[in-house]
Chains A and B, each alone.
Chain A
Amino acid sequence: MSAPLLATGAAFRLNGASVVALAPGALWWPARALLAIADLHLEKGSEFAARGRLLPPYDSDETLRLVATLVEELGPARVICLGDSFHDRKASDRLPRAISERIAGLASGRDWIWIAGNHDPAPPESWGGRVAAEFAEGPLRFRHEAALEARPAGEISGHYHPKAGISWRGRRVVGRCFVEDGRRLVLPAFGAYAGGLDARDAAIAGLFPDGYRVHILGRQKLHSFPASAL
């Protein structure tokens, strides 16, 4: 089952490690059976509902369904959620029980790491997994937000929700994207309602002074472009 998933992804080297950006927006490190996802923003819908904007209440369900598909197909030994897994501090209280049980089911039997983001609190212990501010393995270092002052080599982060677009034949198509330069990588947001920030914005582009590549999420596969093509 994992063949189409890997075949439609984009493989590249990050600080020496061979990783694959997957079309649904997750990162796969085959050598360590490690899966990383960023910015799930669970219960964003209900947070808006509480302020009177009654968005369809299916975003957490949709997001977790995608995570579950990835876990089933790839069978990772370790899953790292790169922070902002919950949209706000009360999100875990609002999460329907069926969904929190599904998270616990996914987390059991593997090493599940919740990196702390700026939106979310620590998840309830019943969900399993462990909480960390950062996590390092081999040449790669996982954190929520790219650290400008730090050595970029091998840094994998989320936070910025990058997106990028291509103008072609009078139309513009835009999608969430991975942004990387072989040393540093910013993941796209994974949450169903997570919006995006243009990769050309200084906040993102500034992390890559020597230029970068984007891997844009299409419906079925990833599309890779150099920054100059955006």
Chain B
Amino acid sequence: MTRSKPGPAPAPALPEPFAGWFAARGWRPHAHQLALVEADREGRSALLIAPTGGGKTLAGFLPSLVALAERPREGLHTLYISPLKALAVDIHRNLEIPVAEMGLAIDAETRTGDTKQSKRQRQRRRPPHILLTTPESLALLLSYADAPAIFRNLRRVVVDELHALTGIKRGDLLALGLARLQRLAPHCRRVGLSATVADEQALLDWISPTGRANDDEVRLVRGRSGAKAEIAILATGAYLPWSGHMALHAIEEVHAAIAGARTALVFVNTRAQAELVFNALWRINEANLPIALHHGSLAPEQRRKVEAAMARGALRAVVATSSLDLGVDWAAVDLVIQVGAPKGASRLIQRIGRSNHRLDEPSRALLVPANRFEVLECRAAVEAIRENELDGDPPRPGGLDVLAQHILGMACEAPFAAEALYAEVTSAAPYRALPRADFDAVLDYVATGGYALRSYERWHRIVPNEDGLYRAASPTVVRRYRMNVGTIVQEPMLRVRLGRGRVLGEVEEYFIQGLLPGDTFIFAGELLRFEGIRDMAAVVSRAKGSGEPKVPAYAGGRLPLTTQLARRVRSLLAEPGRWRSLPGPVREWLEMQRRRSSLPEGDGMLVECFPRNKKEFLVAYSFEGRNAHQTLGMLLTRRMERAGLRPLGFVASDYVIAVWSLRPVRDIDALFDEDMLGDDLEAWMDESSMLKRSFRNVAIIAGLIERHHPGETKTGKQVTFSSDLIYDVLRKHEPSHILLRATRADAASGLTDVGRLAQMLRRIKGRIRVRRLSRVSPLALPAMLDIGKTAVYGQAIDELMDEAATALIEEATAEEPAPELPL
């Protein structure tokens, strides 16, 4: 079942016409493809873990095709779910080939947000044998009263790219939808298709119909692993920067690598970086190689055009963000270039897997670190991949906001009993440990808002009928649910329009608000001049290349360094014997650090203290990722403030946290004591903008505020309320409200990363090594260069505005000396 080499076909061979079809193509079925057919015949679910290029998708469909060929029948047999709309469409195309060539009477259709209304209605009346769709479209289908009829005879659900769906809210929503499907069709079997992951058990649990894989219902099938990838780290001839993340110093080498490949995918970490790298490549692209740009803010038509050109083989390279992490295979891609640090081994493997889909040939990848620390990170990632150590967060409980949305959806379908729905929900892995009290609190929220002050009795969204079953209170409630289904929440965006013409894409509203008419910025690969906001769009014109453009800054998109990779970076630093593989400048840098200070040790933490410009600096080498470091910075400065040390600011990178103050810290151990995670944390979290951002997401997903409202059009003049106002009032009057609990849970694992911080504080207790230096150390230099360049996080509105006002005064008075006072 696992890792069998292609040899004589195993016993349970495929029936005709399948065996003949494979033979006619000169193929032999993969062992994992046969194993899935077998599992299906035994009525068991399955999890297939295989690298790209292993015929994974065909393996997912083969059992359905075999079953439908042997026992033709009407009605929906198989549901295929993909995280990407575009992927569902492409897979559909690929599926039609074997169906047509074998002359099977099987119809397969897609259903996404783009499917025509008439077709969608017909699909509900007369569903195809195989339906390809997305988690959101499934949630919608399940909210219709005819869901039981549609799904009654469903036999299989195939979830593609399962690794990309677990651990996030979209996956929570899908897990709840699958739990409902299982009730509608008890004999339905599930198949998960996944890339290799660190935690197979979590995926087994997730795909299991009971939420617990030890029930022996799920068979684990591993595909043959392909040839090891060939990963090189760019040994740049040019100067290696101390700080920064754009890697523009290596742009000529990146261009040369593109020129030397057939087709290259150039991955970067943020949309801003994509714009800059794309622009820099074109500036030196004298050979006019067709190089395109792809990221999530570009207009969808633009992205589809790039994808189509890629599929035709018309491009030599695409500069892309995670917008291309998933997707159909492009056979022509023979090189993946990762510009900037990979941040995690699993993510890097996923990206590298986008090149060369023949199993027996290695994928080729080139890593381009943007600074010295990133060199270490790249080296650590290459070693992790070589040793097959993947990373990933442990499974987290499903979001209560997602549960709220699901409960409302279920009430739209048919009246439900709380008891039965609770049992169903807890059969989904993310919710298997959900206490009944939490379920009831969410149910109460959906019904009445869940406030201690019961003043909304008249306006319930769901109400119990005479049998105690909950139903949607009105058709409006149902309509509103359907308009707002899904868990993807965007920052408020503005369209970017070229004059009166074409829409180039969307950027975050707050970025546009920071622009004055006449300011220039780079977007969609062009230098644009901001003209003003009209009709809810940012109107721009093409600009001539002068002045300093601002580049769209986007919230999010910056993943923190994973725990596993951080540990590898620490151990690489601690063992000089392994530095041979590092470029000369990096080696010299570390050697100098060893002479002038100390090297950070494996599991302890190095702290350096030194004076500079009449300020006292403290640099801690904690390696816990940017999010945890920002939280740490806030907590350290609060504590220093109380101790009278007069802290002035901090910067947080993925690797270190640097704090500066007027007075030096004496007791470092006390400063980093675990008890900082008590009252200070609570107090800060509640005030922080990160919690407000988390609350906005939670409030939208839970339906407290809606993205779309029937019969309301948003105009520029209309004054809407912001989620911040609701957050402030709720926090003050009902701090234990279920949505605030959901918000804190989100922030603790995401933006503030408190869990990771807590682990670190425990790990370093009694193992902090303090070096008091007379000047900045080599390793501290990158952080020092970041001061003043990076955003200051966590500051309250007052401090930030004070700073801005002071700077404004300084600017206004700097040019000419202040006039003598007339005294």
A positions within 8 Å CB-CB of B: 44, 46, 49-50, 52-59, 61-62, 96, 161, 165-173, 175, 192-198, 201, 203, 216, 218-221, 223-225, 229
B314 interfacial by beta-carbon distance below 8 Å: no
Kindly identify which residue among A49, A50, A171, A194 contacts B792, using a CB–CB cutoff of 8 Å: A171
The answer to whether B726 and A56 touch across the interface, beta carbons within 8 angstroms, is yes
In the complex the two chains form, is A171's CB within 8 Å of B734's CB? no
- Which of the residues A54, A170, A172, A220 comes within 8 Å of B448, measured between beta carbons? A54
Give 23 pairs: A residue, B residue, CB < 8 Å, sorted on A: A46-B455, A50-B458, A52-B459, A52-B480, A53-B705, A54-B448, A54-B704, A55-B705, A56-B451, A56-B737, A57-B453, A57-B456, A61-B733, A62-B733, A166-B800, A166-B804, A168-B804, A192-B729, A194-B725, A195-B721, A219-B798, A225-B804, A229-B804
State which of A58, A161, A171 has its C-beta within 8 Å of the C-beta of B733: A58
Write out the residue numbers on chain A whose beta carbons fall within 8 Å of the beta carbon of B198: none
Contact pattern, B 658-681, Cβ under 8 Å of A = 1, otherwise 0:
000000000000000000000000
The yes or no answer to B720 lying at the interface (CB within 8 A) is yes
Residues of A within 8 A of B803 (CB): 168-169
Q: For B792, list chain A residues within 8 Å (CB).
A: 169-171
When distances are taken between beta carbons in the complex, the residues of chain B under 8 Å from A61 are 733
Given contacts A52-B476, A62-B733, A218-B797, contact A195 B453 (CB under 8 A): no
Contacts of A221 in B (CB 8 A): 798
**Contact A57 to B455, CB < 8 A, known contacts A169-B792, A218-B801:** yes
How many angstroms from the CA of A193 to the CA of B459 in the assembled complex?
19
A39 to chain B, nearest CB (A): 10
For the complex, what is the distance from the CA of A162 to the CA of B704, rounded to whole Å?
Answer: 25
Residues of A within 8 A of B719 (CB): 161, 194-197
A167 to B510 CA separation, bound complex (whole angstroms): 9
Whether B726 contacts A193 by the Cβ 8 Å rule is: yes
What's the nearest-Cβ distance from chain B to residue A55, in Å?
Answer: 6
Q: Which residues of A contact B309 (CB under 8 A)?
A: none
Produce 1/0 per residue, B711-722, CB < 8 A to A. 000001101111
User: Of all chain B residues, which has the CB nearest A23?
Assistant: B798
Q: Which residues from chain B contact A196 at a C-beta distance below 8 Å?
A: 719, 722
Is B215 among interface residues, defined by CB-CB distance under 8 A? Answer: no
Q: How far is the CA of A169 from the CA of B807 in the complex (A)?
A: 11
Q: Are A203 and B790 in contact (CB under 8 A)?
A: no
In the assembled complex, which residues on chain A have CB atoms less than 8 Å from the CB atom of B807?
A: 168
**B722 contact set on A, CB distance < 8 A:** 195-196
Is the CB–CB distance between B456 and A46 below 8 Å?
yes
Supposing A167-B514, A168-B800, A169-B803 touch, asked if A54 and B732 sit within 8 A by C-beta, the answer is no
Residues of A within 8 A of B725 (CB): 192-195
Interface residues of B in 425-460 (CB under 8 A from A): 448-449, 451, 453, 455-456, 458-459
Interface string of B390-434 (1 = CB under 8 A from A): 000000000000000000000000000000000000000000000
Q: Is B821 an interface residue (CB 8 A)?
A: no
Contact flag A169-B791 (CB < 8 Å), given A195-B721, A223-B801: yes
Chain B residues proximal to chain A, CB less than 8 Å: 448-449, 451, 453, 455-456, 458-459, 461, 474, 476-477, 480, 510, 513-514, 553, 704-706, 716-717, 719-722, 725-726, 728-730, 732-734, 737, 790-793, 795-798, 800-805, 807-808
> In the bound complex, how far is the Cα of B730 from the Cα of A46, in angstroms?
14
List residues of chain A with CB within 8 A of the CB of B793.
171
The distance from the CB of A32 to the nearest CB of chain B, in whole angstroms, is 30
Q: Which of A161, A172, A193 contacts B513 (CB under 8 A)?
A: A172
Q: How many Å lie between the Cα of A53 and that of B730 in the bound state?
A: 15
Q: Which partner residue on chain A sits nearest B739 by CB separation?
A: A56
Please, how many angstroms separate the alpha-carbon atoms of A55 and B451 in the complex? 9
**A221 CA / B805 CA spacing, docked (Å):** 13
**Complexed CA–CA distance, A170 and B551 (Å):** 11
Task: Please give, as numbers and ranges, the residues of chain B lying within 8 Å of A50 by CB-CB distance.
Answer: 458-459
CB distance from B271 to the nearest CB of A (A): 15
Chain B residues, CB < 8 A from A219: 796-798
Asked whether A173 and B513 contact (CB < 8 A) given A52-B459, A54-B704, the answer is no
Whole-angstrom CA separation of A224 from B800 in the bound complex: 13
Most chain A CB neighbours (cut-off 10 Å) among B733, B737, B798, B808 = B798
Pick the contact of A225 from B455, B456, B458, B805 — CB < 8 Å? B805
Of A56, A173, A175, the contact of B449 (CB 8 Å cutoff): A56
Asked if A58 and B734 sit within 8 Å, CB to CB, the answer is: yes
Q: How far is the CB of A160 from chain B (nearest CB, A)?
A: 9
Nearest-Cβ distance from residue B511 to partner chain A, whole angstroms: 8
Contacts known (A44-B721, A54-B461, A195-B720); A169 close to B800, Cβ less than 8 A: yes
Could you tell me the distance between the alpha carbons of A185 and B719 in the complex, rounded to whole angstroms?
Answer: 20
Taking the closest CB of chain B, its distance from the CB of A226, in whole angstroms, is 8
Query: CA of A46 to CA of B451 in the docked complex: distance in angstroms?
Result: 13
User: Contact: A198 with B513, CB < 8 Å?
Assistant: yes
Least CB distance from B305 to A in Å reads 32
Which A residue sits closest to B705, measured CB to CB?
A53
Determine the chain A residues whose CB is within 8 A of the CB of B451 once the complex forms: 54, 56-58
- Option from B448, B732, B737 in Cβ contact (under 8 Å) with A62: B732
- In the complex, the chain B residue whose C-beta lies closest to that of A176 is B725
Tell me the smallest distance from the CB of A38 to a CB of chain B, in Å. 13
Task: Considering the complex, give the chain B residue whose CB is closest to the CB of A41.
Answer: B721
User: Which residues of chain A are within 8 angstroms of B801 by Cβ–Cβ distance?
Assistant: 166, 168, 173, 216, 218, 223
Q: Is the CB of B513 within 8 A of A165?
A: yes
Q: Which residues on A sit within 8 Å (CB–CB) of B513?
A: 165, 167, 172, 198
Inside 8 A of B716's CB, which chain A residues have their CB?
A: 201
Q: Which of B449, B717, B791 contacts A171 (CB 8 A)?
A: B791
A62-B733, A96-B455 known; 11 new pairs, CB 8 Å cut-off, are A52-B474, A52-B476, A54-B461, A56-B729, A171-B800, A173-B800, A195-B719, A195-B721, A223-B805, A224-B805, A225-B808
Residues in A with CB closer than 8 Å to B477 are 52
A-B residue pairs, 9 tightest by C-beta: A54-B449, A170-B791, A167-B514, A223-B801, A58-B733, A168-B804, A218-B798, A195-B721, A56-B730
Verify B717–A55 contact, CB threshold 8 A: no
Q: Using Cβ atoms and an 8 Å threshold, which residues of chain B touch A167? A: 513-514
Minimum CB–CB distance for B162 against chain A, Å? 35
Residues of A within 8 A of B480 (CB): 52
Q: Which of B459, B477, B705, B734 has the most CB of A within 10 A?
A: B459
Give min CB distance, B668 to chain A, whole Å.
Answer: 28
Q: A54-B704, A170-B791, A197-B719 are in contact. Are A49 and B808 (CB under 8 A)?
A: no
A56 is contacted by which of B458, B459, B733, B808 (Cβ under 8 Å)? B733
CB-based contact A58/B730 at 8 Å:
yes
Whole-angstrom distance from the CB of B752 to the nearest CB of chain A? Answer: 16
- Bound-state CA distance A184–B162 (Å) is 60
| Least CB distance, A149 to chain B, in whole angstroms | 20
Are A55 and B704 touching (Cβ within 8 A)?
A: yes
How many angstroms from the CA of A61 to the CA of B461 in the assembled complex? 24
The CA of A195 and the CA of B722, in the complex, are separated in Å by: 6
User: Which residues does chain A contribute within 8 Å of B732, judged by CB atoms?
Assistant: 58, 62
Min distance, Cβ B73 to any Cβ of chain A, angstroms: 42
Complex contact B553–A170 (CB within 8 A): yes
A229 to B805, CA, bound (A): 9
Contacts of B456 in A (CB 8 A): 46, 49, 54, 57
